[in-house]
Amino acid sequence: MSEIMSEVNILENRPNQPVGRIRQKNQLRIIAAAEEEFVTFGFKGASMKRIAERAELPRANIHYYFKNKVDLYAAVLGDIVEVWNSTVADINPEDDPKETLTGYIRAKVLSAKNNPNASRIFASEIIHGAPHISQYLKQDYRVAILNITNGFQSWIDQGKMDAIDPMHLLFMIWGSTQHYADFGVQVRAAMDKDSLDDDDFERIIASITHIILKGVGLN
């Protein structure tokens, strides 16, 4: 089977929940190794042989759980979508916008801190035209986006925050928070640091939160 993947259902193509501890451990090792491989070489350049080496498992074990690179990439994307979904703000018109936006920004920055490879792989997929997840973007992803932006609009309609474009507010939050994962090398070079510590990320959260809240009239 060709390893050129057109469109996959990243949720259906995720591996079934493992039934044993060893199987679960192996799948987690393989997916973690695959994330490192895909973030380094992209889908086309990734090698199942190197993934096996990274996971410290025989290559036959990789193919036992994932029949080819397409399946493994689909599983990685599925995990990334779960990470993304875990940070999606659950917005209700009755919620306090300052409190909700503050929590959402914190969740997005911590996701960039704790799951940088996930953000980079997803960004790479988008940059290349999202050839493997276009249906997801048109369906589940679109629904999630509208849930957030409709929530923003409800706050605007109630006079709880300034009348800004909800979609562009969401883009601004994403861009400012995911930057620390997608462009981590650039950030560290600019800050003259080998790595960012917890205090750095707390300052990042505070700065982005202040800028966003002030920009929508919630300072």
In a domain, 80, yes or no: no
CATH number at residue 38: 1.10.10.60
Domain that holds residue 39: 21-75
The count of domains in the chain is: 2
Residues 182, 169: Cα–Cα separation, whole Å: 19
Q: What is the pLDDT, as a whole number, of residue 89?
A: 64
Residues in the chain: 219
In a domain, 4, yes or no: no
- Minimal CA–CA distance to 129: which of 37, 204, 43? 43
The answer, yes or no, to whether residue 200 has pLDDT greater than 80, is: yes
68 & 125 share domain: no
The answer, yes or no, to whether residue 16 has pLDDT greater than 70, is: no
For residue range 106-163, list pLDDT tens digits in order.
999 999 999 999 999 999 999 989 888 888 888 888 888 998 999 999 999 999 999 9
Find where tokens 């996930």 sit: 118
Q: What is the pLDDT, as a whole number, of residue 12?
A: 52
Residues 152, 161: Cα–Cα separation, whole Å: 9
| Res. 8 pLDDT band, cuts 50 70 90 | low
Report the pLDDT averaged over residues 200-212.
98
In a domain, 2, yes or no: no
97 & 192 share domain: yes
Picking from 75, 109, 139, the residue at the C-terminal end of a domain is: 75
For residues 10 and 141, the answer to whether their CB atoms sit within 8 Å is no
128 & 67 share domain: no
For residues 18 and 27, the answer to whether their CB atoms sit within 8 Å is yes
